[in-house]
Amino acid sequence: MKLTKKSHSCVRLEKDGQTLVIDPGGFSEQDAALGADVILVTHEHPDHFDEARLRAGMEENPGARIWTLKSVAEQLAAAFPGRVHTVGHGDTFTAAGFDVQVHGELHAVIHPDIPRVTNVGYLVDAGTVFHPGDALTVPDHPVGTLMLPVMAPWNKISEVIDYVREVKPDRAYDIHDALLTDLARPIYDRQIGGLGGAEHLRLTPGDSARL
């Protein structure tokens, strides 16, 4: 499987000529969803869900399908009848050759005064990749590659380190990093890599790795 990092929390997975895209949001490239056969969206916040980017991907490929939670599906279902599927925690499905398990229910707490929205994570191909969205969800399955939210209004580095320790992936790649400055990246690399207990890696948007 080929993993390509896009900006912020968007990633592309390619296998056997098929492409799966997760969270092509407003901080991602304009063409983030183009070429996708499958699009997964973790939650409704605009840095993860951008309707224009999703529409571009769906219109370019009439065979493309979206799997997401109810709050996002309701905004897209009328435009793409039969092509938008609603999922929740515990669901499993196969799309374009990718086997997906859904984990999690709620977005992490930003502040007690801010209502929590729903959020799901996606475990792809028996744990080859896990993308948690905006939550520190621990799936009940071994994880090869964890997409790790490193910088957000709802987390701090100690929580990120403990999350890696709890999931115990073989490797963790940074996502949710648009707010992280280049000056801070060496600090995060050193602390997460030294304390997390797993290989900690980072891809520049547009770069890829083989899993």
Give the CATH number for residue 172. Answer: 3.60.15.10
Secondary structure letter of residue 172 according to DSSP? E
Count other C-beta atoms under 10 Å from residue 207's C-beta.
11
For 69-98, what is the mean pLDDT?
97
Q: Determine how many CB atoms are found less than 10 A away from the CB of residue 173.
A: 23
pLDDT tens by residue, 18-58:
999 999 999 999 999 999 999 999 999 999 999 999 999 99
What is the C-alpha radius of gyration for the chain, rounded to an integer number of angstroms?
16
101-133 tens-digit pLDDT: 999 999 999 999 999 999 999 999 999 999 999
Q: What is the phi/psi pair of residue 79, to 5°?
A: -75, -25
State the amino acid at position 79 in one-letter form: A
Q: Which amino acid is at 20?
A: L
Alpha-carbon span 140 to 127, nearest angstrom: 10
pTM for the whole thing? 0.97
- The count of domains in the chain is 1
Domain span including residue 165: 2-93+102-210
The pLDDT score that the predictor gives to residue 161 is: 98
CB 143 within 8 A of CB 43: no
- Tell me the per-residue pLDDT of 152-194, one tens digit each, with 9 for 90 and over: 999 999 999 999 999 999 999 999 999 999 999 999 999 999 9
